[in-house]
């Protein structure tokens, strides 16, 4: 099976899909959609691996989300899980300062992020990065690791990108890509970045079950809706839908080595 569309970030293991997960995956298969199911802690990371084992068009990413403060990062656990042939990335990891004002908690997030980076470099896998209200800090940390390992290189994707154009450029300079989700279909705040971003540096995602695109806004999101993000990218970049789909799928396969 070859992908037509690649939703590079979803959470198909979440309870939102418990009643009809098979139907959701069937719609993906019918539309030639592949996805990376992204873990947020030990339990969800294991669930993503299990889904990836079961379905050809599902892959996995494993990690501990920066706002999951109840779990201690077990590098041995994630290292073993990440050795699975269908685990394509480390994360969801990064920094989220949206509701975190406490200095100690922010330092804790930075330490956790660095552990993910070091594991990704050790295993030579890309990072799946979550960042909210902390792009300058993420860039500072990534820069500090950019020349650390000789046998692998720092790389990955900034999922659900919400930063400024100047920050996007700095990610590109580091060899990272960015991905866009449902909000680009109902707000123009991303238009400048989308217009300026090199087409080989962008990808599409749903972040299912969250942030459904128009015309499904307000409903549960699912990977089949990723085509709406591709349509909007084509409109903003004044490109054909076919070109956007082909290039973003190629980008996903190259970044995550699939």
Output the pLDDT for position 150: 54
Output the pLDDT for position 98: 93
Reported as a single tens digit per residue, the pLDDT across 51-77 is 999 999 999 999 999 997 678 999 999
**pLDDT averaged over the chain?**
96
| Ranges of residues in the chain whose predicted pLDDT is under 70 | 1, 69, 148-152
Write the CATH number of the domain with boundaries 5-255. 3.20.20.140
Output the pLDDT for position 228: 98
Specify burial of residue 88 (Cβ count, 10 A radius: 0-12, 13-18, 19+).
buried
Output the pLDDT for position 92: 97
In terms of DSSP bridges, do strands 33-38 and 58-62 run parallel, antiparallel, or are they unpaired? parallel
- Name, in order, each residue with C-beta under 8 angstroms of 20's C-beta and a sequence gap of 6 or more: none
Output the pLDDT for position 149: 57
Output the pLDDT for position 241: 98
Kindly report each contact of residues 100-104 with a partner whose C-beta sits within 8 Å and lies 24 or more positions away, as own/partner.
100/67
Where do the structural domains in the chain lie, given as residue ranges? 5-255
Output the pLDDT for position 148: 66
Reported as a single tens digit per residue, the pLDDT across 135-162 is 999 999 999 997 765 556 899 999 999 9
Tokens of 147: 């020349």
Cis amide bond preceding 215, omega within 30:
yes
Output the pLDDT for position 151: 59
Output the pLDDT for position 187: 97
């Amino acid at each position: 099976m070859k992908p037509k569309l690649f939703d590079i970030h979803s959470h198909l293991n979440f309870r939102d899909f418990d009643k009809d997960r098979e139907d959701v995956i069937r719609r993906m298969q019918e539309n030639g959609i592949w996805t990376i199911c992204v873990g947020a802690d030990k339990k969800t990371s294991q669930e993503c691996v299990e889904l990836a084992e079961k379905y050809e068009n599902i892959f996995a990413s494993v990690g501990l989300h920066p706002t999951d403060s109840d779990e201690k990062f077990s590098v041995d656990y994630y290292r073993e899980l990440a050795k699975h042939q269908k685990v394509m990335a480390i994360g969801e990891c990064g920094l989220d300062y949206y509701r975190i004002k406490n200095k100690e908690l922010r330092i804790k997030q930075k330490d956790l992020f660095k552990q993910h980076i070091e594991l990704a470099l050790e295993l030579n896998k890309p990072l799946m990065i979550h960042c909210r209200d902390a792009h300058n800090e993420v860039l500072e940390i990534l820069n500090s690791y950019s020349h650390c390992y000789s046998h692998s290189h720092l790389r990955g994707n900034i999922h659900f990108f919400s930063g400024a154009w100047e920050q996007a450029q700095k990610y590109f300079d580091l060899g990272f890509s960015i991905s866009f989700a449902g909000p680009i279909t109902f707000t123009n705040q991303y238009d400048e970045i989308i217009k300026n971003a090199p087409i080989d540096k962008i990808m599409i995602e749903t972040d299912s079950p969250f942030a459904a695109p128009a015309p499904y806004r307000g409903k549960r999101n699912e990977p089949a809706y990723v085509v709406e993000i591709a349509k909007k990218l084509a409109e903003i970049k004044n490109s054909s839908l076919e070109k956007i789909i082909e290039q973003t799928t190629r980008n996903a396969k190259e970044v995550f080595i699939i």
